[in-house]
Structures are given as C-alpha cells and as structure tokens.
A = this chain, B = another copy of it.
C-alpha cells in the first residue's frame, strides 16, 4: 500500500485540520478558496481542489453551492434520545456467548420456520433488496464463459479479478491497495477468525468495544481468548483514554473494533479519533482488527474512509464482506492483513484451496459495471430515509425513558429500555409473537446490557414491519406493568 502521507494535498489538508482543532476555524467559517490555497501553498488548482474535497470527505467541511467550503461542527450530532456511553469492564473475561447465541438463533428452527418470523434480530439484509436478477445473470455469464474452470480449485488468495475490482472500489474510500494486499475469505466471519488466529495465542487478551458485534466474541470464545470490554460512546466510539489505561494495565494482545457504522451503535468514528487510535496502536505495536462490513452503507452523500486508509504502518487487519450489501449466501469476504500478511497466510495455510470459484467469478463479473454503485446508492437512500421513522416509532411506542441510537449508516439500532426490562425475557416474549430481536447480553463478553436490545431493519419499513415494531413496544410496556 502506498503511504498516503506522501501526497502534498493531504499534508495541506492535515494542516487545516490542525487549525480547526486548535480553534482557528470554527463551525460555519468559510475555508480558504482554491485560489487562496494556490497562493498560500504554491500548488496547482487541482491540488488545492483536492485539499478541499479531502476535508469534505473526512467530514471537516461541506461544500455550499457556488460559495465555497465551510467548516462543519466538529462533534457528530448527538441526539437527546441517544444512549449514554458504556463503561469499561473491570477485568478480562472468557467470552461465553455461544450457548446463548445458539439458543437464540436456534429458536428460529429450520429455514422454513424462520421464514414465518419477522426477523428484526439478526443483522440480515432482506432478500428482496438484493440485486438477484443481476447476480443470477453474472452467475450465468460465469458459467457460459468458463463452466469447467469454475469447478476446479481456485487460487488460494482469491480470484484475481475480484481482488482487483475490490481494490478499485476501496480506492473510492481513500484506501489505496493492489490486489495482492487482499485475501478473499469465506465471508467476514472467516476473515475475523483468521485475523485473530494470525495475531493471538490461546489465553491472550483482546480489547473490544462495549457493546461489540457478537461474532468477534464467538471467535474469542472458540479460540480460547479473553475479552476486555472498553467503554464506548454511541456517537464517537471507543474511549481512547480508557483503551490506553487498559493497555497499560493488562497484557492486551490485540484490539478488535468496528469503527464505521458500528454494530450495534451505528456511529462512524470521527477521523481525528481514528488518527489517535492509530497513534496508540503504532506506539504500543498493537494489531488492530477493523470490521468494516457496514462501511459502504453511509447515509447522506459523504462516504467514510475506513480506519485502514490512515494506516501507513500496517497495524490494521481490515476485514469485510459483501454480506450486508450484495449476497450474504455467497459467503465472500476479504482481509487486508497489512504487516501481518505472513501470519495471516500461516493461519490460512490448511485451506490451500481457498473459497468457491463460481461465486467469486460471478461477483467479479457483477462488480465490473456500475450496477454495484447504483445498488449501493439505492440501499443507502432506503436505510437513511427510514431511520428517522424507526426511531420515532420506538420512542413513541416503547416505555417512557427508552433511548435509541441515531445511526450514521448501516441498518441497526440499539434500544435501551428503562427498568424493569429484561432483554432475554423480552426476546422470548417477542418470539412467541413471531418477532425476533437480538438481546443486549450477546453483545458483551461479561453478560452486560440486559436492559437493551438491537433492532435490525435491513428491509423495507412496510406496514407489517412498522406493526412489528409497535408490537415490540407493547411487549416492553407489558413487561414494565407486569413486573
């Protein structure tokens, strides 16, 4: 990967960010014009323009039609109904979530039975929202052009065309890669597991966000690791002071986090905090696993750069997949293991044959054109446009004092309900009425968050779904009354 710091425009942008952080520019101030930047820094108009676009893309500024670029307020919007920041766990613990998760997901029973349930639990995207015709056409094309080849063992690191196209697409988010930087995996789950295997040994301690995606806890449990949960703010992300303090006190081997459209909180970690996080990682030589699976699902026009795009030293193992946007059932993900490429290869060694050829080739075909971009635009628009309605339904129908996150991307919401509320009992009562939810405790190695649940709305907010959310509110109220 190229070191982005070598670009002149980025150095200038960085300097302006320093000025914003130092208070020299304030929210609403107009930034220097292209001409002014040309003069001040002795650069071309193109470079000056790139400085401003960079500042816009990183969320420091916004373009106003015909009048230039203006500084945005520094802190992301914090709505009054958002949950408070969580606390740091007192000690690392062996994760113990698999039994609970199995119980919860087994409740769905067969795929048949699951189809009769309104699935607001698992973070799944509705089949109806996936481009199945285009993907079927891509599969058909793959079969026409190489039906014999797709039956053979593929390249262990993944289909070259797919990696090339993936690299191009990530380039649009500020991450400059060549195909060899990318290893294709069997979904993101596989990437996360291999990343953990590459950088830890059984008994090691991994720092995670609190709450965090339960999949990482499942791996921590399966690999015999310990998790230490770090306080996390539902708007700005993991508490970096706490992270430093914990890393001083405990032998933390790795950090795993989900900075962009966090599951379950929905925030995008601000750029300045990403930079500080990387400084901490570099200083302590701490590998960082970045889960970026929702990273392309930003609301609004501004795309978000992944943590990996600022990682000039290679400490980040960037993991993601196509499961939240395109084809969960294809099980295709990837890892950009950075400086841990050798260790990642060692962990992956037994799987010399890699992942299936057919689905990789079909995805590569599909990604060739502009269809993916159009499809993503459609998803973003849908999820952004219905988020406010989900929030207001929850705030209307759940007990007084209920809080809900205000996501900046993705399609999950974290709901905290005041006592008496028990997420596990609530889950079972809701399931009895044909609605699944994801109870808070599966997002914690130490069993926290019995007062909360995750609501996933990876589907159109139809009358049925709205009705389902209202029913959940009634169940929560009933519990409050009956206790």
Chain A interface residues (CB < 8 Å from chain B): 98, 101-102, 105, 110-111, 122, 124, 127-128, 130, 132-133, 135-136, 139-140, 143, 147-156, 160, 186-187, 189-190, 192-193, 197, 201-202, 215, 218-219, 221-222, 224, 323, 326-331, 345-347, 349-359
Contact = CB atoms under 8 A, between A and B. Distances in A.
B127 A149 contact: yes
A105 B154 CA distance: 13
B202 A222 contact: no
Contact of A140 (B124, B140, B187, B351): B140
A148 B129 CA distance: 9
Contact of A347 (B140, B154, B222): B222
A115 to B, nearest CB: 9
Nearest to A359: B356
Given A136-B147, A202-B202, A355-B331, A127 B152 contact: yes
B110 A128 contact: no
Contact of A133 (B147, B152, B352): B147
Contact of A151 (B110, B329, B349): B329
Contacts of A156: 105
A353 B110 contact: no
Interface centre among A133, A192, A222, A353 (most CB of B within 10 A): A353
A105 B190 CA distance: 22
A152 B329 contact: yes
Contacts of A331: 186, 353-356
Nearest to A112: B160
B139 A127 contact: no
26 contacts: A101-B349, A111-B154, A124-B153, A127-B152, A130-B148, A133-B147, A139-B358, A151-B327, A153-B329, A154-B329, A186-B351, A187-B351, A187-B353, A189-B353, A190-B351, A192-B350, A193-B351, A197-B222, A201-B202, A202-B224, A222-B346, A222-B347, A329-B356, A331-B355, A331-B356, A356-B356
Given A152-B328, A329-B358, A359-B359, 11 more contacts: A105-B156, A111-B160, A124-B153, A132-B151, A150-B329, A151-B327, A152-B329, A186-B331, A186-B355, A189-B350, A218-B352
Contacts of A346: 98, 222
A192 B349 CA distance: 13
A358 B147 CA distance: 15
Contact of A222 (B110, B192, B326, B349): B349
